[in-house]
Amino acid sequence: DVSLLLYFVFWYVGNAIYNMYNTMALKAVGGKHGGLTMTVSTLQLGICSIYAGMLWLSKPEKMLLPKTTKEDLVATLPVGFCAAAAHSAGVFCLGADPLFGQIVKAGEPVMSAFVNTFFYGKPPSLAKVFCLFFIVAGVGFASLKKGLDGAYKLKFDERALIFGMIGNSFAAFKGSENKKLMTKPGLKDRMGGVANQFALTELIGFFISVPVMVATEWKKFPEFFRLLGSSKELQVGLVLSGMSFYLYNELATMTIKKTGAVTASVANTAKRVIVLIFMSAVTGKALSDEQKIGATIAIAFVMLYSVIDDLVK
């Protein structure tokens, strides 16, 4: 299936491009100590919203305006909030350490299992619990560094770990809330398809992020606008990271629709490996032996986690 192959290729390429230009935009505003990470994250969602608006206005035959009611929009707020929080936390995580951040983000099933067990009463199977121990162990081993005395010590970017875990938690909430949302009678028809659903989620996420951005970083706005007017890296990085974020997520949705959730989960795991290698090349920062081994263990068991229930039937 050529179309399916192209979905995979552009999904992977889009994600790699997003990571590259996200890193470029964050570096242009001073990196994790620049105090403008939330601004970059919010404006990426703003670009997503502008793109969605252009699709609604210029191509009505391809993307009809949703016919959602006020009640539908209120019901969509939790998904939009979780999407915004997951995105912003992910930007903070990857801005702190693009490589270790990818390893932490690969551990998303751990937080997903926790959230679904304690908040939605849907615990994972014993087989999946078995995999979770190895995912945690892999991320843990990737956090170790060998000292001059030969002893291993924990050494990692705390900001990347904390925001990575926060992002993983909100991604888990978003997935569960989205499933709940789609059970609302007639909502799918009123939404007008997954493209509209994703566009609405990003739009709501943007409007939720704006007050957070203003409250936390308003003092840095003059500096941001000065950089935006003078830094080509910020201009290009911001626009292309926002566009690629929207497009690769849409392609991921199309891939799931065409293949099923399990195949897409495995593909998403493989994507982590490719992006990890790609970002190592882009940043010029080599993975340590501990990170290579830890990432291999974590990502391998994330892949197994995705399919193990089907294997042990």
DSSP string, 147-204: -TTS-EEE---HHHHHHHHHHHHHHHHHHHHHHHHTTSTTHHHHHTSHHHHHHHHHHH
Q: Would you state the structure tokens that stand for residue 163, as one six-digit string?
A: 């925001």
Beta bridge partners of 144: 154
Q: What pLDDT is attached to residue 17?
A: 95
Residue 306: its pLDDT value, please?
82
Under a CB-based contact definition with an 8 Å cutoff, are residues 254 and 7 in contact?
yes
For residues 119 and 96, what is the distance between their CA atoms, to the nearest angstrom? 29
Give the model's pLDDT for residue 73.
Answer: 92
Q: Helices (H) and strands (E) in the chain — how many of each?
A: 13, 2
- Report d(CA 169, CA 160) in Å as an integer: 14
The residues, ordered by sequence, that sit 6+ positions from 150 with a Cβ below 8 Å of its Cβ are none
Residue 279 neighbours by CB distance under 10 Å: 21
- Tokens coding 169: 């938690």
Locus of tokens 């989205």: 178
- Give, for 30, the enclosing helix (H) or strand (E): none
> What was the pLDDT predicted at 261?
58
pLDDT of residue 5: 82
The confidence score (pLDDT) of residue 285 equals 86
Tell me which residue of 212, 252, 250 sits closest to 62, measured CA to CA. Answer: 250
CB atoms within 10 A of CB 152: 12
Taking only the tens of pLDDT, the chain with its 313 residues reads 688 888 888 888 999 999 999 999 999 999 999 999 999 999 999 999 999 999 888 755 566 778 889 999 999 999 999 999 999 999 999 999 998 998 998 888 889 899 989 999 999 999 999 999 999 999 999 988 888 787 888 788 999 999 999 999 999 999 889 888 888 889 888 988 778 888 999 999 999 999 999 999 999 999 999 999 999 999 999 999 999 999 998 888 777 777 665 666 667 777 888 888 888 888 888 888 999 999 999 999 988 888 888 888 7
pLDDT score of 312: 85
pLDDT at 39: 98
CA distances from 231 to 2, 44, 166, 234, 239 (A): 40, 17, 31, 5, 13
Residue 90 and residue 23: Cα distance in Å, rounded? 12
Query: Residue 64's Cα: distance from chain center in Å?
Result: 26
